[in-house]
Amino acid sequence: MKKLVMVFMVGAMLLTACGKEEPKVDQNTGKQQLVVAMDMNSAPYSYESATQSDDTVAYGKSGYAKGYDVWLARDLAADLKRELVIKKMDTKEFATALDEDRVDLVMGALFDNSEEDDLVYSDVYFESGICLLTRKDDKSSSYSKLSQFKKAKVASLGGTFFDSAIEQIKGVKHEDARDSYAQLIADLKAKKLDAFVAESKIAEQIVKQNSDLAIVSFAPKQGFQSGKGVVIGSDDEELMEKVNRFIKKQKAEVRSENMQKASAVVPSFVPEETNGK
């Protein structure tokens, strides 16, 4: 079974080995569409906005999207002279959507997992890290080595590299993957989990909004091995060549500014089942 990589360490893009149909044409603009799947639940990379603004991208019938990868997709579509279409879906659906040719690319906190799957990845476009979150009042919040989480119940988001990263903890109790960060947070607080894995920027936003949680601070070389962030695509070699050319020419300053802007205001990571109750 194919696994996608959702670890923001170095941005990149992927391709599957399936036949590719001609891109659909937007009825309003006459442009070919660039269909990109995102989970829209991974701030500051991709998330929903209640209102329209200069930095939002319309998606679905009445939704608005924003975030680091949303803007990357927007700028990529403009560079390719295509009409961007964002499709919201769970991370577990990403590989199937690519195989069935329902999307051209998958973006949003993805990591290169080429050693374990048969997807084709783009060049790197962003570097980040992998974090472990636990309850602040638990003794594990002061741990400094992954090895100290032996026998701990640890989970992550389904269909992502983070789920694979759990195996770096020897003797860990690898719990079933969850469908959302809200569910991971709720299960951690309810002590159904001892910890969960997340990308560093996402982890920072989570602890800002959940003061009873903490990011484990590992000693040098005692934490997770880093991953390569990516975008996932099809077997369309011409499209991937254009994607990689775009990544190479996009300025580092632009990426840095976009990350700062994306991290400034993000939606709540407080679980719906506990928020306000």
- One domain for residues 246 and 188: no
What is the predicted pLDDT for the residue at 23?
65
Distance, CA of 252 to CA of 47 (rounded, Å): 22
Residue closest to 178 by CA, chosen among 39, 57, 61: 39
- One domain for residues 26 and 58: yes
Query: The tokens of 155 are what?
Result: 């989970």
Distance, CA of 218 to CA of 93 (rounded, Å): 32
Residue 270 lies in a domain: no
What is the predicted pLDDT for the residue at 16?
40
Taking CB atoms within 8 Å and a gap of at least 24, the contacts of 249-255 are 250/72, 250/75, 250/125, 255/68, 255/125, 255/126
What are 257-274's pLDDT values in tens digits? Answer: 888 888 776 666 655 443
Q: List, in sequence order, the alpha helices (H) in 195-251.
A: 200-209, 237-249
Rounded to an integer, the average pLDDT of 12-34 is 63
Residue closest to 234 by CA, chosen among 69, 122, 82: 122
What is the predicted pLDDT for the residue at 112?
61
- CATH value at residue 199: 3.40.190.10
What is the predicted pLDDT for the residue at 180?
87
Counting the structural domains of the chain, the total is 2
What is the predicted pLDDT for the residue at 95?
81
Query: What's the whole-number average pLDDT of the chain?
Result: 82
Residue 276 lies in a domain: no
CA atoms within 13 A on the CB side of 161: 30
- One domain for residues 142 and 191: yes
More confident residue, 7 or 23: 23
Residue 211: burial class (beta carbons within 10 Å; 0-12, 13-18, 19+): exposed
- In this prediction the pTM is 0.71
Adjacency order of strands within the sheet including 195-199: 173-174, 153-155, 195-199, 130-135, 213-215
Percent with pLDDT over 70 in the chain: 79
Largest CA distance in the chain: 59
What is the predicted pLDDT for the residue at 27?
63
Give the pLDDT band (50/70/90) at residue 230: low
Residue 31 lies in a domain: yes
Give the pLDDT band (50/70/90) at residue 86: very high
Domain residues for 119?
12-126+227-264
More confident residue, 230 or 168: 168
Rounded to an integer, the average pLDDT of 64-77 is 92
- Whether 213 shows a pLDDT value over 80: the answer reads yes
